[in-house]
């Protein structure tokens, strides 16, 4: 699904319809109607033709269905699929952990993940012991995140309770977070690849919902004002830095984490 890069996430939401599945389940219909009201969307009447994207309230989870008529696999937030229990998964030597502060800083550090997306990095940081505030400005993505976080409480409440979610634009939310977080983490959408087939499915779906984060430089400035110790930015391995002057870079598979320390404020 293509849309102009500058369209706001709220405008895009109008093309997402909310359904209950099965549609004759009264409790699911009520949840779908409530969600539609909260997100300011219209719940789909059963007889309506299938729209481009559907947010489906099912007995197990909330899921986003793309081109429902083409039967593309639905997308949901499922933290149980992330590897945080193997030695590699929970290692404080992995590049994201090193970028956030390494073994000494990670535990109990308050990290604001200002570009939450599907919450994978936030979950990883919380698994390492950080307290994480996720900020997500797309109400559709945020609804999927909230649903995933709620289900996560059933299989890993320790990690889930270290994460909170704020729905809104991080540029507006960050100045109000008190006390100031130690670290602000940014992972704006990467520049579009020449072959979009190389992008992971969940990221392709995310791009279809939220577009490109063309305003990321402004978000970087807001992050630098909000963080006490450092701002960390995830970038594709060979991309230009989001801002000049990272003092350290931790490389991972296909991505790198640029570290910008906060020097004394006037």
Ligand X SMILES: C[S@@+](CC[C@H](N)C(=O)[O-])C[C@H]1O[C@@H](n2cnc3c(N)ncnc32)[C@H](O)[C@@H]1O
> Which of these ranges, 14-22, 96-104, 169-177, 257-265, lies near ligand X under the rule CB under 6 A?
169-177
Terminal CA-to-CA distance of the chain, rounded, Å? 47
Contact 44, 70 (CB under 8 A): no
Q: Select 32 or 209, whichever has its Cβ closest to ligand X.
A: 209
Per-residue string for binding with ligand X, 20-59, x by CB under 6 A?
----------------------------------------
Give the shortest CB-86-to-ligand X separation in angstroms.
18
Considering only 213, 258, 260, 262, the residue that binds ligand X (CB under 6 A) is 213
Task: Please identify which residue in the block is written with the tokens 């993505």.
Answer: 141
Considering only 74, 101, 117, 182, the residue that binds ligand X (CB under 6 A) is 117
Considering only 187, 226, 232, 259, the residue that binds ligand X (CB under 6 A) is 187
Instruction: Report if residue 121 touches ligand X, rule: CB under 6 A.
Output: yes
Contact 239, 190 (CB under 8 A): yes
Q: Select 33 or 169, whichever has its Cβ closest to ligand X.
A: 169
* Count of all residues that appear for the chain in the document: 266
Instruction: Report if residue 258 touches ligand X, rule: CB under 6 A.
Output: no
Considering only 17, 36, 41, 118, the residue that binds ligand X (CB under 6 A) is 118
For ligand X (CB under 6 A), the number of binding residues is: 23
Give the whole-angstrom CA distance, residue 128 versus residue 84. Answer: 8
> Which of these ranges, 18-26, 46-54, 187-195, 243-251, lies near ligand X under the rule CB under 6 A?
187-195
Per-residue string for binding with ligand X, 222-241, x by CB under 6 A?
--------------------
Give the shortest CB-199-to-ligand X separation in angstroms.
10
> Which residues from 126-155 bind ligand X, rule CB under 6 A?
135-138, 141
Nearest residue to ligand X, using CB?
A: 117
Considering only 21, 25, 78, 169, the residue that binds ligand X (CB under 6 A) is 169
Considering only 21, 33, 120, 199, the residue that binds ligand X (CB under 6 A) is 120
Give the whole-angstrom CA distance, residue 126 versus residue 96. Answer: 12
Residue numbers of the site for ligand X (CB under 6 A)?
A: 9, 114-115, 117-121, 135-138, 141, 169-171, 187-189, 206, 210, 213, 219
């Amino acid at each position: 699904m293509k849309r102009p890069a500058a369209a706001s996430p709220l405008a895009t939401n109008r093309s997402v319809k909310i359904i209950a599945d099965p549609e004759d389940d009264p409790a699911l219909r009520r949840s779908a109607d409530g969600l539609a009201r909260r997100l300011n969307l219209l719940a789909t009447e059963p007889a309506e033709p299938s729209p481009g994207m559907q947010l489906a309230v099912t007995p197990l989870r909330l899921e986003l269905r793309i081109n429902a008529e083409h039967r593309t696999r639905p997308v949901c937030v499922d933290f149980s699929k992330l590897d945080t229990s193997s030695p590699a998964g929970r290692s404080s030597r992995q590049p994201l952990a090193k970028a956030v502060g390494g073994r000494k800083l990670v535990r109990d550090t308050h990290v604001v993940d200002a570009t939450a997306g599907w919450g994978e990095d936030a979950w990883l940081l919380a698994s390492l012991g950080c307290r994480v505030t996720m900020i997500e400005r797309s109400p559709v993505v945020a609804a999927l995140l909230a649903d995933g976080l709620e289900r996560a409480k059933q299989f890993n409440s320790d990690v889930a309770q270290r994460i909170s979610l704020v729905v809104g634009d991080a540029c507006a939310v960050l100045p109000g977070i008190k006390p100031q977080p130690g670290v602000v983490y940014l992972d704006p959408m990467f520049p579009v690849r020449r072959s979009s087939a190389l992008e992971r499915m969940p990221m392709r779906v995310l791009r279809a919902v939220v577009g490109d984060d063309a305003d990321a430089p402004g978000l970087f400035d807001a992050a630098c004002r909000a963080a006490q110790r450092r701002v960390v930015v995830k970038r594709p391995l060979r991309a230009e830095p989001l801002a000049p002057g990272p003092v350290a870079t931790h490389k991972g598979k296909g991505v790198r984490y640029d570290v910008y320390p906060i020097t004394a404020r006037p």
